[in-house]
């Protein structure tokens, strides 16, 4: 049996099923594994992609046999991802690009959200929870669709997604409002993303509402990226990428590989640190930020300070000032010092900043490199790599690519570099066109224009959107959200 405890208190301890069902620990901390199992790499790399994912997932989430896990992985990915490789590795110039966006919504969040519903329903069975699990999500665009696609028609679950009315791109809106499924609801909220998010948080804190739902055998849950079930699948693709480099003769077993990660909430890059603790030879993890460079500043100074201006950038999924999963890394790199974590998170909440002791920052700087790229840097990177190699990146991926180039130049570290590609360029076609210095276009016209220019195929899930009927037309005020969830 594996156990997990809160980052803020090691005596708050649960099993894997409870960690997945609860999402967040009752003291506000995040669940972390008590220890990391070291994997036998030779054995792991002899498996196919599904088998590799299954083995890594079994090592992270307790209580599964490898066979059951493989079945779940196959159910989640086969026929839904474009390739049986799940996360293919491609090479462009000197850089290896790990494509995490080949799933049903062309966003990297598909990798985790295609499995999470199965983890949740299985955890509910294990814990003898018979209630329907109703997922509530506020989204600024990407997460909502990936969650809808993951939970649609999964027995025992339902999902409601709230997005800011007029606050997502036309493609993102179409992706959500065309979602099929008996158990899905999509609703626009008058207000911005923060209003929708605050509305969802208020529902989770509304005891009266939860009691009424309980009478109807409904229990609320979230598909938030702090859930252990969302983190675990992300660890697997670091192993997958390393195995691919090995097979292609780029590296020999034991060689260290660097990874550049476009970072927002710190989940994706934390997964790389977890892979390191499970025995993968990870070199530097490049933590790439956009103009909202809280993390780059933190790695440079040891001070995490969210008291700063918030910028809207061309990489909106990284426009974040509080990176929740950093808490797990702080726990790990402080040697499991829960008192320190609780103290620092308390300071963040009370005063908006904290300073991490130099001894812990030393460990951070050993494992991570922090960098950032402006929109201009990012556009230049898209254009530059496309001209050199014909590889087309989305703006999030381009932030990581730009940081990887700057890192190489400033350090001379020439170990193989894998850049994590987190979205299809077609999800952000208007900005990619701008980067390539093409005429402005919006919506589906931008998709077509980008395809004409580059010849890169439009992912089917995006091209077929134009012809799909809009099934969800609700628009409500924040004050109506509780009522909406109840019915
Ligand atoms: C969510 C997201 C990220 C950031 O990932 P984190 O795990 O939050 O750091 C980067 N790029 C895209 C396209 C995303 O959707």
pLDDT at residue number 141? 77
Q: How far is Cα of residue 435 from the mean position of the Cα atoms in its chain? A: 25
The two domains 89-106+229-427 and 109-224+472-486 share their CATH topology (first three levels equal)? yes
For 62, 242, 244, 252, 255, the CA distances from 249, given in Å and listed in that order, are 34, 11, 9, 7, 11
Give dist(CA 439, CA 458) in Å, integer.
18
Supply 161's token pair: 């997604």
Of 70, 124, 105, residue with least CA distance to 459: 105
Element (H, E) at 304: strand 303-305
Determine the 3-state secondary structure of 440 from DSSP: coil
The domain locations on the chain are 89-106+229-427, 109-224+472-486, 428-458
Rounded to whole angstroms, the Cα distance separating 31 from 323 reads 16
Q: At 47, phi and psi to the nearest 5?
A: -90, 160
8-state DSSP, 37: P
Say how many Å lie between the CA of residue 24 and the centre of ligand 1. 20
According to the model, what pLDDT value does residue 334 have?
98
Protein residue whose Cα sits closest to atom 1 of ligand 1: 317
Based on the residue annotation, tell me whether 362 is a catalytic residue of this protein: no
**CATH architecture designation of domain 109-224+472-486:** 3-Layer(aba) Sandwich (3.40)
Measure the CA–CA gap between 183 and 180, rounded to whole angstroms: 9
- Ligand 1 first shell, C-beta below 6 A: 107-109, 142, 225, 262-268, 317-318, 396, 422-423
Contact 439, 449 (CB under 8 A): yes
Catalytic member of 2, 38, 109, 284: 109
Distance 266 CA to ligand 1 centre (A): 8
- Phi, psi (rounded to 5 degrees) for 221: -150, 170
Q: What integer pLDDT is reported at residue 223 of this predicted model?
A: 86
Residue in 318, 401, 426 to alter for ligand 1 test, most ligand atoms within 8 A of Cβ: 318
Structure tokens at 373: 């790229």
Q: What architecture is the 89-106+229-427 domain classified under in CATH?
A: 3-Layer(aba) Sandwich (3.40)
Place of tokens 């066979």: 67
- Give the residue among 346, 367, 351, 358 at the shortest CA–CA distance from 9: 346
Q: What pLDDT score does 225 carry?
A: 84
- Closest listed residue to residue 418, CA positions, set 150, 92, 42: 92
Q: What is the pLDDT along the chain (487 residues), one digit of tens a residue?
A: 899 999 999 999 999 999 999 888 989 899 999 999 999 999 999 999 999 999 999 999 988 999 999 999 999 999 999 999 999 999 999 999 999 999 999 999 999 999 999 999 999 999 999 999 999 999 887 889 999 999 999 999 999 999 999 888 888 999 999 999 999 999 999 988 888 888 988 898 899 999 999 999 999 988 888 899 999 999 999 999 999 999 999 999 999 999 999 999 999 999 999 999 999 999 999 999 999 999 999 999 999 999 999 898 999 999 988 899 999 999 999 999 999 999 999 999 999 999 999 999 999 999 999 999 999 999 999 999 999 999 999 999 999 999 999 999 999 999 999 999 999 999 999 999 999 999 899 999 999 999 999 999 999 999 999 999 999 999 999 999 999 998 8
What's the CA-to-centroid distance between 310 and ligand 1, angstroms?
17
Question: Which atom of ligand 1 lies closest to the CA of 265?
Answer: 8
- Residue with the smallest CA separation from ligand 1 atom 15 is 317
């Amino acid at each position: 049996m594996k156990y997990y405890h809160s980052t803020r208190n090691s005596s708050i301890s649960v099993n894997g099923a409870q960690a997945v069902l609860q999402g967040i620990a009752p003291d506000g901390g995040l669940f972390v594994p008590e220890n990391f199992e070291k994997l036998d790499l030779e054995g792991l790399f002899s498996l196919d992609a599904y088998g590799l994912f299954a083995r890594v997932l079994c090592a992270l989430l307790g209580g599964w046999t490898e066979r059951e896990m493989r079945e779940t992985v196959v159910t989640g990915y086969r026929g839904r991802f474009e390739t049986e490789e799940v996360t293919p590795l491609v090479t462009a110039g000197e850089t290896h690009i790990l494509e995490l966006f080949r799933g049903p919504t062309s966003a990297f969040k598909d990798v985790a959200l295609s499995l999470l519903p199965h983890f949740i329903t299985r955890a509910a069975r294990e814990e003898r929870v018979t209630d329907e699990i109703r997922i509530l999500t506020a989204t600024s665009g990407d997460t909502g669709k990936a969650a809808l696609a993951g939970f649609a028609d999964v027995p025992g679950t339902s999902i409601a997604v709230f997005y800011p009315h007029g606050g997502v791109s036309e493609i993102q809106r179409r992706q959500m409002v065309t979602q099929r499924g008996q158990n899905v609801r999509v609703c626009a909220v008058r207000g911005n993303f923060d209003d929708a998010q605050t509305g969802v948080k208020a529902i989770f804190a509304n005891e009266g509402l939860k009691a009424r739902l309980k009478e109807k055998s409904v229990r609320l849950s979230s598909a938030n990226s702090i859930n252990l079930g969302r983190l675990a699948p992300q660890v697997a693709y670091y192993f997958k990428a390393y195995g691919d480099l090995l097979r292609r003769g780029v590296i020999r077993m034991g060689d260290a590989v660097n990874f550049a990660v476009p970072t927002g909430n710190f989940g994706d890059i934390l997964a790389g640190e977890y892979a390191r603790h499970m025995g993968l030879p990870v070199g530097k993890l490049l933590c790439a930020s956009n103009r909202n460079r809280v993390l780059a500043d933190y790695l440079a100074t040891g001070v995490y300070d969210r008291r700063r201006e918030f910028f809207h950038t061309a990489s909106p999924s990284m426009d974040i000032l509080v990176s929740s999963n950093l808490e797990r890394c702080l726990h790990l790199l402080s040697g499991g010092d829960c008192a320190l974590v609780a103290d620092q998170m308390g300071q963040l909440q009370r005063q908006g900043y904290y300073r991490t002791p130099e001894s812990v920052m030393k460990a951070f700087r050993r494992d991570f490199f922090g960098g950032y790229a402006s929109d201009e840097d990012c556009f230049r990177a898209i254009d530059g790599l496309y001209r050199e190699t014909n590889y087309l990146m989305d703006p999030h991926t381009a932030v990581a690519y730009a940081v990887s180039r700057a890192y190489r130049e400033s350090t001379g570290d020439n170990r193989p570099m894998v850049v994590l590609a987190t979205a299809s360029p077609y999800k952000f076609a208007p900005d990619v066109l701008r980067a390539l210095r093409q005429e402005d276009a919006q919506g589906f016209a931008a998709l077509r224009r980008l395809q004409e220019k580059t010849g890169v195929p439009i992912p089917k899930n995006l091209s077929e959107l134009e012809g799909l009927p809009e099934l969800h037309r609700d628009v409500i005020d924040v004050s109506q959200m509780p009522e909406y969830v109840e019915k």
